[in-house]
Homo-oligomer: A and B are copies of this chain.
Amino acid sequence: MKNADVMTRLKIAEGHLRGIQKMVEEDAYCIDVIRQIQAVQAALNKIGGMILENHLNSCLITAVQGDDPNERERVLKEIVDVYNAATQV
């Protein structure tokens, strides 16, 4: 089950964020903190891509093969939206 992998990675990212709070508390060097934040962001990019892959292989196929043109349009529009949002974070 794919969700298990996503869950594991989310937990790791959460632990990583806690570690970063510890760094800030202990007055770690700013640049090192920024690099760790960027590492969490890269991990979140990876997780987002995995969830999108699940989505395309399930909901999207159902919607595109289904009979409801509005539903199909909605699902395709959402993918464009998250793609556009991905270019902005």
Contact = CB atoms under 8 A, between A and B. Distances in A.
Nearest to A10: B21
Looking at chain A's contact residues, the main secondary structure is helix
A77 B56 CA distance: 9
Contact of A65 (B17, B42, B64): B64
A64 to B, nearest CB: 4
Interface in A24-73: 24-25, 27, 29-31, 33-35, 37-38, 40-42, 44-49, 51-61, 64-65, 72
Interface of A: 3, 6-7, 10-11, 13-14, 17-18, 20-21, 24-25, 27, 29-31, 33-35, 37-38, 40-42, 44-49, 51-61, 64-65, 72, 76, 78-80, 82-89
Please give me the 6 A-B residue pairs with the lowest Cβ-Cβ distance, nearest first: A30-B55, A45-B87, A41-B89, A64-B64, A14-B17, A49-B84
